[in-house]
Amino acid sequence: MTNAWRLGCTRGQAITAAALFAAAVAVTAAVGSVAAASSAEQYALLQRPGWAPPPWLFGPVWTILYVLIAFAGWRAWCAGPGTSRRTSTSWYALGLVLNALWTPLFFAAELWTLALLEIILLDVVVAVTAVLFWRRDRLAGALLVPYLVWTMFATVLNGAIVALN
């Protein structure tokens, strides 16, 4: 068996896994994108703290984060089979679902308090996933740190918006 990129999967498995992780993250991004179709206007109308980022920043940041999230999932999965792979992949999948749900809750439904509770749960899930990934492949865990930092920032911003509106 030939290891792909020094990981515990064959080249064929690595390519298949990369496609699946990229597709899963793309679906997550697409759900958020559809729900956020008019979010720039909504965001501009909300009372926000002075430190809130401008609307144009979210697209580039999320693009980078989604690439990191997909790469992290791929690295962790290719670190080899076993119970830890199933566990970490389950947490990862839960994180993608929660990520996809936040934008419709916040923007489409304007349920800012529920979105705040949901993103707090997302923070916990991303942190647990990062730890589980770290145990399988240190780079995979480290790749989730920017995502965790951004979601924690978004949590504080969501809380501030709830308080101000």
The pLDDT tens digits for 32-78 are: 888 877 777 788 889 999 999 998 899 999 999 999 999 999 999 99
Q: Is pLDDT at 1 greater than 60 in this prediction?
A: no
Q: Is residue 36 part of a domain?
A: yes
Q: Is residue 3 part of a domain?
A: no
Q: Is residue 27 part of a domain?
A: yes
Residue 76, number of CB atoms within 10 A of its CB: 31
Q: Is residue 87 part of a domain?
A: yes
Q: How high is the mean pLDDT of the chain?
A: 92
Q: Is residue 6 part of a domain?
A: no
Q: Is residue 137 part of a domain?
A: yes
Q: Is residue 2 part of a domain?
A: no
Query: For 3, left (φ over 0), alpha (ψ -120 to 50), or beta?
Result: beta
Q: For residue 138, which of 80, 72, 88, 94 has the smallest C-alpha distance? A: 72
Q: Is residue 146 part of a domain?
A: yes
Supply the pLDDT for residue 162. 98
Supply the pLDDT for residue 37. 76
- What's the rounded Cα separation, in Å, for the pair 155 and 25? 20
Q: Quick one: DSSP state of residue 78?
A: T
Overall number of domains in the chain: 1
Stated pTM of the model:
0.91
pLDDT band at 7 (very low <50, low <70, confident <90, very high): low
Query: For 122, left (φ over 0), alpha (ψ -120 to 50), or beta?
Result: alpha
Q: State the residue range of the domain holding 104.
A: 11-45+54-164
